[in-house]
Structure formats: structure tokens, C-alpha cells
Amino acid sequence: MKLKFQIHFQQRIVERSIDVDHIKWAINNPDQTAQSFDDRVVVIKKIDFRKIKVVYIRPKEKDNTYVIITAYYL
């Protein structure tokens, strides 16, 4: 699995102290999943004592790259 981050989100990772492994875990093992607009997927995963919400674009066929739009702890 490869993750590609939008430019504005690269800054938010640091600001929000987001663990990239938590993003991967949420995508691979979501507790909740919802389809959004423009092929976007929203997942929520409980990790330890908090939840993380991740919005990403599904990879195209034969491509294992997930484009992360945003992620944050709820």
C-alpha cells in the first residue's frame, strides 16, 4: 500500500500529530465506511482511546496508491 498526500495535508499531519500508521490501519481495517462524492471514501477507526477519520480516493486499477485527502482524530 502506498499513500500519497495532498500538499495541504502534508502540513496538517504535523499540526495534528497524526500517526501515518493509524491512517493505514483505518484504511485496511475500518470500523465504518461511507462513500462520498468524486470517488472519495470516508472511513472511521477506533484506535486505542480515540477515533481517526480518513478521507481518501480509491486507487485506480493496477495501482495501489491511496490519495489521502484529509485525516483527523475525532
Residue 40's closest CA among 60, 57, 24?
57
CATH 3.30.1330.20 matches 2-73? no
* pLDDT score of 39: 86
What is the CA 40 to chain-centroid distance, rounded? 10
Residue 44's closest CA among 70, 64, 13, 10?
70
* pLDDT score of 12: 86
For residue 59, pLDDT beyond 80: no
User: What number of other Cβ atoms are within 10 A of residue 36's Cβ?
Assistant: 12
For residues 60 and 4, is the Cβ–Cβ distance under 8 A? no
2-44 per-position pLDDT tens digit: 888 888 888 888 888 999 999 999 999 999 999 998 889 999 9
pLDDT band at 54, cuts 50/70/90? very high
Ranges of each domain in the chain: 2-73
State the Cα–Cα distance between residues 43 and 29, nearest whole angstrom. 9
